[in-house]
Amino acid sequence: MNSKIAIIGGGNLGTAIAQGLIKSDFSIPSDIIITKRNISSLKGELPAGVKVSDDNVKAVVASNIIILAVKPFQIAGVMEAIAPVLTKKQVLVSVITGVTLSDLKEMAKIDLPVFRAMPNTAVAIEQSMTCVSSDNASDKQVQLVTRMFSTVGKVVTIDDKLMDAATVLGACGTAYAMRYIRANIQAGIEIGFDAKTANLIAAQTVKGAAELLLKNGSHPEQEIDKVTTPKGCTIVGLNEMEHRGFSSSLIRGVIASYKKIAKD
């Protein structure tokens, strides 16, 4: 039997998860119910047939997998409302930044299986990197959640302590990669391309570079060595970027983002 899935919080990530699960055939549209307080702002973004509701309690009662995708400051209110109808047979999956497994267990008030999953927005096109941690879950439940996220990208199981780090590297990382690509587009236009062609070249080049690492299992420096012709133009560009603090600024950005989660 297919899982009935409630996605509580139909924002950027919640709708991306719904899109991905349907594209990957993990779910049929009528098995997903997605909630939002103002559902009129949601309908256009979703595949046909997905149920929409502003009633979290009804959505939870009708589902066996509950994905929590509201903003961190909204979770306490949501959990207070749904806790009385949660059962031990359900699986709770939170994608919310900074909310630990023990926070979830405390808010759930019953001893049900709890998962944290940290996907990114590429989940919509089945290309997410999703880090998963869990507590109180059977092997079967772990398999179910792992299979669900495996259909929409790659999955790695991690200790809950690493979830903030996973958030920064894997989820915020999409935005960081986009900035890198955008800067390339800006430079590409300055050296002669129209914006559309620069966009294609920059995006496909980054995709190819990532695929080299994933398929070859190599380290970036090994792949860089293959590009940097001695006395050539690549090394001149790379060294200029490093003189300007390229790696340093990325590392500092990632650490600033990580510290922000701990502060909240």
Ligand X SMILES: NC(=O)C1=CN([C@@H]2O[C@H](COP(=O)(O)OP(=O)(O)OC[C@H]3O[C@@H](n4cnc5c(N)ncnc54)[C@H](O)[C@@H]3O)[C@@H](O)[C@H]2O)C=CC1
Ligand Y SMILES: O=C(O)[C@@H]1CCC=N1
Residues belonging to the binding site for NADP(+) are 8-13, 69-72
Taking CB under 6 A as the binding criterion, the range among 57-65, 165-173, 177-185, 236-244 that sits at the site for ligand Y is: 165-173
Which two tokens mark 99?
């909310």
Residue 55 CB neighbour total at 10 angstroms: 13
Q: How far apart are CA 193 and CA 110, in angstroms?
A: 59
Residue from 16, 78, 92, 171 in contact with ligand Y (CB under 6 A): 171
Smallest gap from residue 45 Cβ to ligand Y (A): 17
Measured on CA atoms in the order 187, 188, 189, 192, is the torsion positive or negative?
A: positive
Residue from 172, 185, 198, 202 in contact with ligand Y (CB under 6 A): 172
Angstrom CA distances, 176 to 23, 71, 181, 207, 225, stand at: 26, 20, 9, 14, 24
Residues 107-166 that bind ligand X (CB under 6 A): 118, 120-121
Is the CB of 22 or the CB of 171 nearer to ligand Y? 171
- Write the CB contacts of 49 (distance below 8 Å, at least 6 apart in sequence): 28, 29, 30
Q: Does 47 engage in binding with ligand X (CB under 6 A)?
A: no
Is the CB of 33 or the CB of 78 nearer to ligand Y? 78
Helix axes 195-216, 220-227, angle to 10 degrees: 120
CB 136 within 8 A of CB 114: yes
Taking CB under 6 A as the binding criterion, the range among 10-18, 43-51, 129-137, 221-229 that sits at the site for ligand X is: 10-18
CB 84 within 8 A of CB 26: no
Q: Does 56 engage in binding with ligand X (CB under 6 A)?
A: yes
Strands 5-8 and 65-68: parallel
Q: Does 169 engage in binding with ligand X (CB under 6 A)?
A: no
Smallest gap from residue 213 Cβ to ligand X (A): 22
Residues 14-33 that bind ligand X (CB under 6 A): 14
Taking CB under 6 A as the binding criterion, the range among 166-174, 180-188, 209-217, 239-247 that sits at the site for ligand Y is: 166-174
Which two tokens mark 192?
């002669």
Is the CB of 126 or the CB of 193 nearer to ligand X? 126
* Binding site residues, ligand Y, CB under 6 A: 97, 167, 171-172
* Binding site residues, ligand X, CB under 6 A: 8-14, 35-37, 56, 69-72, 74, 78, 95-97, 118, 120-121, 171
